[in-house]
Amino acid sequence: MSTSFLLRNGKRVFSVIGGVCRGTDALSGVHFIARRFIIDLSYSTHFMDFKGSSIPSSMKKLVVTKLSQNFRDAVALQTVPVPTPGDGDLLVRNRFVGINASDINYSAGRYDPTVKPPFDAGFEGIGEVVGLGLSASARYTVGDTVAYFADGAFAEYTVIPMIKTVPVPAVKPEFLTLLLSGATAYIAMKRLGDLVKGETVLVTAAAGGTGQFAVQFAKQAGCHVVGTCSSNEKAGFLKTIGCDRPINYTSEDLSATLRKEYPQGLDVVYESIGGRIFDMAVNNLANKGRLIVIGFISGYQTASGVPTVKGGTLPVKLLQKSASVRGFFLPHFLADYKEAMGSMMQMFAKGKLVCEVDCGDMAPEGRFVGLESVFRAVDYMYAGKNVGKVVVEVTPPSLDSKL
Ligand SMILES: NC(=O)c1ccc[n+]([C@@H]2O[C@H](COP(=O)([O-])OP(=O)(O)OC[C@H]3O[C@@H](n4cnc5c(N)ncnc54)[C@H](OP(=O)(O)O)[C@@H]3O)[C@@H](O)[C@H]2O)c1
């Protein structure tokens, strides 16, 4: 059975047969075939009311309106028109978005000091393609599920350049954990860790978004893994993902424990806290130890963003142990990104990688549902409550969604 639609400007006639869309472009005479409807740029002014579309005319998004390390002061919830995808873009209906420690570095303008507010917040999302430009239609179609690592994710709908997206088999929040948190651990350990079987690896913030992956990759490399965390619940979780020695630093003296149980020192440290913990990690490095600076979250909520360390003594300490401190920033390692994602997706599919998601089900005001709850989710992370990656459920599943 076939149905025909004449679009408003009359340029193109579609006929739909059994879910397959065929037609002839009236201007070029070119025959085309597509699996499902493509929202073509030539109709971009019309696509909101395209037959069968469930795209509303307006949506909510979070915008940085003032630079501040206080996320609630910096960011405002706005209602705006749903944006239109350009030629190489996808319009994604965000089902889940990821919360990152650096969301407040971004809102404080620390990523690019030349960028002035207003600008869109949020780094990563996963959802369904609901519109796309003509070039993007060569690779994607409406209904495809994608994840992406790009600015502006804290919105109900986001326009994303196709090249920044990764096709995913379903809209599972677990895939979202891999985009930034997983990729950081995978690439940093591989490129800068130089892990050798039998070595001792310390992971700080080990039960968090990226820490959980650092623990698992170090374990897979045959290392003895020590992980810091702030509760017994987190220590229990760390055990389940292979951490040999979780240290709950709220009930144990971290420095004394490291000195007593690891007198030979730490071969590798995956360090996310900074300040006092960074100093402690340097002091406990083994000969030829490698400390990877992943972040320094303990300073992010301060005006400078940078916690103080005992920098003056660092050259001496490194020289005496032939040790090194190595910085890692994911955008500098994008050449490794595709391989990292492919490998982690395979591990997850085979049940060899735990991707722990924390949607706030145990948070005081309950699960993080709706864009408004991004504020609560950021607070929750900064209170150190999360076990795994903090994720917000932005929109409910669509009717024919794969989740
Ligand atoms: N370099 C890169 O390219 C890159 C990419 C992604 C993430 N990162 C870095 O990785 C680190 C972790 O980020 P994430 O997004 O995965 O967060 P997360 O680990 O999911 O959450 C942050 C955790 O940090 C711990 N923490 C310790 N001291 C803290 C303090 N003073 N304030 C707040 N939290 C504290 C808490 O765990 P406990 O309470 O258990 O200690 C908290 O749960 C951050 O430093 C971030 O900047 C870097």
Residue 35: C-alpha distances to residues 19, 32, 142, 143, 315 (Å): 7, 10, 9, 10, 61
For residue 392, what pLDDT band results from cuts at 50, 70 and 90? very high
* Atom of ligand 1 at shortest range from CA of 105: 47
How far apart CA 240 and CA 166 sit, in angstroms, is 29
Q: What is the mean pLDDT of the chain?
A: 88
**Three-class SS state of 332:** helix
- Judged against a pLDDT cut of 80, whether residue 36 lies above it is answered with no
- Which position has the higher pLDDT, 40 or 376? 376
Taking the whole predicted model, whether its pTM rises above 0.75 is answered as yes
Q: Give first-to-last CA distance, the chain, whole Å.
A: 30
Token look-up 């949607």 returns: 359
Mutate to test the pocket of ligand 1, among 123, 187, 210 (most ligand atoms within 8 A of CB): 210
For residue 34, what pLDDT band results from cuts at 50, 70 and 90? very low
How many helices and strands (H and E) does the chain possess?
Answer: 11, 20
Q: Is 30 exposed, middle or buried (0-12, 13-18, 19+ CB in 10 A)?
A: exposed
**Nearest residue CA, atom 13 of ligand 1?**
101
1-12 average pLDDT score = 29
- Judged against a pLDDT cut of 50, whether residue 51 lies above it is answered with no
- Judged against a pLDDT cut of 80, whether residue 14 lies above it is answered with no
Alpha helices in 49-158 (DSSP H): 71-74, 103-107
345-354: long-range contacts, CB 8 A cutoff, minimum separation 24 = 345/168, 345/175, 345/178, 348/174, 348/175, 348/178, 353/182, 353/213, 353/216, 354/212, 354/216, 354/240, 354/241
341-368 per-position pLDDT tens digit: 999 999 999 999 999 999 999 999 999 9
Residue 48's pLDDT is 40
For residue 187, what pLDDT band results from cuts at 50, 70 and 90? very high
Query: Which sequence spans correspond to the domains of the chain?
Result: 2-44, 58-171+375-393, 180-334
195-248 per-position pLDDT tens digit: 999 999 999 999 999 999 999 999 999 999 999 999 999 999 999 999 999 999
Residue 78's pLDDT is 98
- Which position has the higher pLDDT, 48 or 310? 310
Residue 55's pLDDT is 86
Secondary structure element (H or E) that encloses residue 63, with its range? strand 58-64
Show the tokens assigned to 58. Answer: 């307006």
Angle at 74 between CA 69 and CA 77, to 5 degrees: 140
Show the tokens assigned to 157. Answer: 């709908």
- Judged against a pLDDT cut of 60, whether residue 118 lies above it is answered with yes
- Judged against a pLDDT cut of 50, whether residue 400 lies above it is answered with yes
DSSP state of 137: G
Q: Is the peptide bond before 83 cis (omega within 30 degrees of 0)?
A: no
- The helix-helix angle for 314-321 and 276-283 (nearest 10°) equals 30
**Nearest residue CA, atom 2 of ligand 1?**
329
- Which position has the higher pLDDT, 21 or 320? 320
Mutate to test the pocket of ligand 1, among 102, 297, 306 (most ligand atoms within 8 A of CB): 297
CATH pick for 180-334 out of 3.30.2010.30, 3.40.630.30, 3.40.50.720, 1.20.120.160 = 3.40.50.720
For residue 401, what pLDDT band results from cuts at 50, 70 and 90? low
Token look-up 């804290």 returns: 154
**Nearest residue CA, atom 33 of ligand 1?**
382
Q: Are 186 and 213 in contact (CB under 8 A)?
A: yes
CA 38 to chain centre: 28
Angle at 94 between CA 37 and CA 161, to 5 degrees: 65
- Judged against a pLDDT cut of 90, whether residue 83 lies above it is answered with yes
CA 63 to chain centre: 18
3-state class percentages of the chain: helix first, strand second, coil last, to nearest 5:
30, 30, 40
134-168 per-position pLDDT tens digit: 999 999 999 999 999 999 999 999 999 999 999 99
Residue 113's pLDDT is 87
- Which position has the higher pLDDT, 16 or 171? 171
CA 299 to chain centre: 21
- Which position has the higher pLDDT, 41 or 278? 278
- Judged against a pLDDT cut of 50, whether residue 186 lies above it is answered with yes
- C-alpha 23 – ligand 1 centre gap (Å): 52
- Judged against a pLDDT cut of 80, whether residue 26 lies above it is answered with no
- C-alpha 218 – ligand 1 centre gap (Å): 18
Residue 45's pLDDT is 38
DSSP state of 363: S
Token look-up 């920033």 returns: 329
Token look-up 């900074």 returns: 274
**Nearest residue CA, atom 35 of ligand 1?**
384
Ligand 1, pocket residues at CB < 6 Å: 100-102, 180-181, 184, 205, 207-211, 229-230, 234, 272-273, 294-295, 297-298, 328-330, 381-382, 384, 386, 390
- Which position has the higher pLDDT, 293 or 112? 293
What CATH number should be reported for the domain whose range is 58-171+375-393? 3.90.180.10
Nearest 10 degrees: CA dihedral of 318, 321, 322, 324?
-40
For residue 32, what pLDDT band results from cuts at 50, 70 and 90? very low
- Which position has the higher pLDDT, 35 or 118? 118
* Atom of ligand 1 at shortest range from CA of 249: 41
DSSP 142-170: TT-EEEEE-S--SBSEEEEEGGGEEE-SS
261-290 per-position pLDDT tens digit: 999 999 999 999 999 999 999 999 999 999
